[in-house]
Amino acid sequence: MSPVLEILTCILILYMFTSVSARWEWESGANPHLISDQEPRPKPTTRLSNPLIGDDGKIYVCLAKNLLIFQSNGSISRTIPLNYTCNVLIPPVLGASRKVYLVAGNRVLRINIRNTQTPESSGEVFLGPETGVEGMDEIIGLSVSTYSSCVLININRRGLFSYRFDGKMRWSTGPVINRMGYRQGCRKNLTGCYFDSVPVIDNCDANVYVSNNQGELYSLSMRSPHFKWIQDYSSLGSFTITAGNNAQLYLTVPDRAIILGLDISNGSVLWQQSIGPLSSQDSAPVVNVNGWISIGSLDGFLYSISPSGVLKKFPETDILDAVSHVNPVLDCSGYAVYISQTKMEGKISRTIGEYTYFSALKPVNTTFKLLVPATGSVYWSESYPGDLVSSCLFSKSDLRRFVMDERMLLAFLSVSNTGNPLSCFSTRQKLASSCSMMDMKPISIDTGNEKASTIFLVFETILVIILAALVRFCCIFWKKKKIQNQDLGKFLGKRRSLQLQKKVFDRSIAELEKKAAAAEGSAGNQVVEELGDLVRERESVERKLSTTYSLGKDTTTPRSKSLLPVSSSDKKTKSFSFRSGQKESVTIFHSLSNSNSTCSSSSSSMDEEMEKRLLKGKAPIETESLSSDNDDDDDDHKEAVKAEGMKIVDDGGGSMRRRSLSLTKNISSSSSK
């Protein structure tokens, strides 16, 4: 071995020895300032660790076979026996209805802290052999989601399990699943692959994040065990997962002293920042409601990173002999953090390759601060030893019986709201504020040829409009009462037949109109009669097409409008037509040349009287009754309405010809007499 390597080996051994010595002195109470300022007391031997900070202003600590509940002033309010030894590596978790979940004796216990009758009745076994769940030999992590009403448990080499609050299992999954013939997870080696991290819950998007022992990161839904995505980060080494509750996920890599911000939708890296060297024992950062992630470093700085990846460190001046090896703690408002910076005696740092090593002899003092990561504003700062911590926490409190470190002190400073001018918010309010920062990015689509895309969209829009019109037509058509219980083919066939008849009538009427214009005398009268018959038949066909065989809505026969008398411009011929609302009558007067007429004065006066009555609408008439269509194949070409009581009166050699349809009174009776 070369002399250089021997020297480096000796230096490393010396540094490791001094680091362990300093850590032992710090945690074993060798520094009297951590327990008492001036009063001598027996040396404590019991250490408190991994506290749960409740939103009710209390701290929950699992110790041996008991759950200790501390008030904010350091006094113990309750001691709940558990009958099982606590797993001090897994902190308690607060669930719904003020219930605390913790791991003790390879079981998951549920403690009802609202039950104040007897301490023994407060605890129960939530999962374990007593509830029929076997094989819980080594529980790696425990998480509870009050918003999804489930408890997540990661059991070593067995998988991830989701349970409801009533103890029934929702789902379970391992690190490998097969979907559609493809294997997902454990790409490198299927043998010996298992989940090895605490399940992390993002309450904003209801996702669960967990990693396996091969460096793969998984994203799962709270409702099902299917993987949303899997990313391989094995090149980073070991990492810690932190949920941002702001559409981002954070990975902290202690060995490389870097933090990565990931997109929760696909697990891709949004940004990466290098920070100071981290403690391997406590490297889980905290995230405030603004999305700023904060973590302490062994170089004495607090590193804060914004959601967009902007890095800030506090204080701005260098601290050569200080360390910040304990993670910050959020205050009750969720915007500021309590931090600690410990001044060490004989601090030395060395960098070898990608790693930086620190060593120190013993702590001198600790400075506690309340700081806002986004702005760097310091609301409160005190040093220990001093009057603040000793008077508020240690003077006549139960904390004097335990070994304390910065982690526990920061927890009590947070629940006591020491030096905090900000308003406190509930857990639900803080989560709502954090989730409101989620900015869903729009999905970009490669349109390619914009002209072709525009043509395609126009064509698609036209097609959708046509389809909508067809659907609407079909809905209206099939709701028609007239075609219910009928053959559709028969209905359409009769409609086509009526349309053909109408066309034939139209052509015939047009031809007769031309003949009537050219004909004179008796031939013209005959043409007029034929024309009237064809007009009535065409009207009957049109009524059938507009009502019984119409493709539109079901409607009744509209009421006929009154037709007023019409006189020709040459005043040689006159014709009158009148229709009432309930009865229908048509009267046609066709006066020929006056020079050949020999009408008597009595009949002329009668005609004038009738003309006046028709003009005034007083002539007694009745409507031609509308016969209902019975939809018979034999009657579809016949008239729907027949003229009743047709009578022709010829006064004196054909000077006046009058045709009356269904008159209630025979007006020409007096002239015949």
Same domain, 413 and 282: yes
Residue 580 in any domain: the answer is yes
Q: Is residue 390 exposed (0-12), middle (13-18) or buried (19+ Cβ within 10 Å)?
A: middle
Same domain, 341 and 406: yes
Residue 491 in any domain: the answer is yes
Which residue among 503, 534, 558 closes a domain?
A: 558
Longest dimension (CA), the chain: 157
Same domain, 590 and 634: yes
Same domain, 287 and 404: yes
Same domain, 294 and 420: yes
pLDDT in tens, 44-74: 668 887 899 988 889 999 988 999 999 988 8
pLDDT value, residue 446: 52
Model's pTM, two decimal places? 0.61
pLDDT value, residue 217: 96
In the structure encoding, which two tokens stand for residue 574, read together? 């006159």
pLDDT value, residue 471: 87
42-49 long-range CB contacts below 8 Å, 24 or more apart?
Answer: 44/400, 44/401, 44/402, 44/403, 45/403, 46/401, 46/402, 46/403, 47/402, 47/403, 47/405, 48/402, 48/403, 48/404, 48/408, 49/88, 49/407, 49/408
Residue 159 in any domain: the answer is no
- Full domain range(s) for residue 352: 1-28+275-438
pLDDT value, residue 439: 60
Cβ partners under 8 Å of residue 170, min gap 6: 150, 162, 163, 164, 223
First CA to last CA across the chain, in angstroms? 155
Q: What does the alpha-carbon distance between residue 37 and residue 28 come to, in Å, rounded to a whole number?
A: 16
In the structure encoding, which two tokens stand for residue 32, read together? 């009297």
Coil, helix or strand at residue 504: helix
pLDDT value, residue 220: 92
Q: What does the alpha-carbon distance between residue 67 and residue 48 come to, in Å, rounded to a whole number?
A: 11
Residue 45 in any domain: the answer is no
Which residue among 419, 438, 457 closes a domain?
A: 438
In the structure encoding, which two tokens stand for residue 257, read together? 């002293």
Length of the chain: 673
Same domain, 507 and 371: no
Same domain, 285 and 405: yes
pLDDT value, residue 443: 47
Same domain, 306 and 409: yes
| Spans of the chain, pLDDT less than 50 | 1-40, 390, 442-443, 554-604, 606-607, 610-611, 613-673
pLDDT value, residue 570: 47
pLDDT in tens, 70-122: 998 889 999 999 889 999 889 999 998 889 999 998 899 999 988 766 666 67
Same domain, 575 and 657: yes
pLDDT value, residue 494: 84
